[in-house]
Structure 1
Amino acid sequence: MKTQLIDLMKQRRSIYALGRNVTATQAELIDLIEDAIKQAPTPFNNQTTRAVILFGDSHEKLWDIVINRLKQEVPDEAAFAKTTAKINAFKSAFGTVLFFTESKTVKEFEDNFPLYADNFQDWSEQAQGNAQFAVWTALAENEIGANLQHYNPLIDDQVREAFNLPASWKLRAEMDFGSIESPAGDKDFMADDDRFLVFK
């Protein structure tokens, strides 16, 4: 059996020590990310995933929004200092991909296919997972690390305003990416017998 895809999947890990020592150009990264999202499957080929790719000042602006928003939630200065250090690690990366779901498209398919209407919201989340995994793995193949964050819905309004985004775009995740400054640790797996059933 060919295992090239499995090998790439093993290479994809949550990398938190990210830097800006990236040799790929922004144009190359944009092409890579856009192609990965376009090739990721969606139900009925409804293509509900949207993405905003941030570099430079725009990338830093995003993580400043997160820090400022979390300051309203963190109980004291000591806790906020730890939170700020964590967010600054994301800010130290080379760029960020913001993943959105186009809620108008989800609603259109609910209306047009009433038999499956209850499924389209769940299916849009599955499409998100496909797109995020595809981008993450494509970056890993090019030795670019990434991790996935979920500060939505806390930052939704500020992000929409900062980048002038449509109200119908629902933020689902934030993926910062950059050079791998320190590798991920070992990955543990639960017992196969607890996870899989095979019938012959």
Structure 2
Amino acid sequence: MATRLESVVEALTRKMETGELPPGAALTVSTLAKELDVATNTVREAISILTVQHLVEARAHKSSVVATPTRAWLAAVVAECSGLSTLAATLGIARATPSERRAFRVAAEQAITAWRAQSVDHRVASGLTWNLFQILASYSRSQYLEAMHAAKRPALVLGFTHLGRERNAAMVTGAVAELLEAVDDGAAHEGAEIVGDLYVYVLDDLILN
């Protein structure tokens, strides 16, 4: 069961994802405390957590604000997540049980179907692809890796919601299919390389274009 602090963090994150708290919006502690029916200290703690997650920007002597994604900001977030996802692939593939590999196949096939759709919803397809990395993090048997990887999702969602671009669906489909094969074969290093290459593709698009 989530603590009150965790619930406030989730509530604020959800407001950012839906646009109720858009980039640049001021996070007034007293207003949020009243709206969420929690103590002001709880809101302050939640804002501190969101600041560490790059979702909020602190301002001296003023209310903190929702981060405004830039390409440089998003590139840094993606680069940070890349290392976690690559490690998740290495450990998750190596430690996955047969039943977990079967469950991964179901999730991977859902992602492939999303990328092969006649009209691709790139946000949904990208989310399903990132979720594959989160699944591998859960297979790693490292609660720290799983939690740290999951904590990157809100910043990625915020960034790609405002700076998202369409991806090469055929290329990503092929990469997911190769990752699925690596998981089936227990090929940890090959799987990690596939995940790393996907991140390089996204980073090149952010930095070079």
Higher helix share: 2
| Length-normalised TM-score, structure 2 | 0.27
Of structures 1 and 2, the one with the larger relative CO (CA 8 A, separation 6+) is 1
| Length-normalised TM-score, structure 1 | 0.28
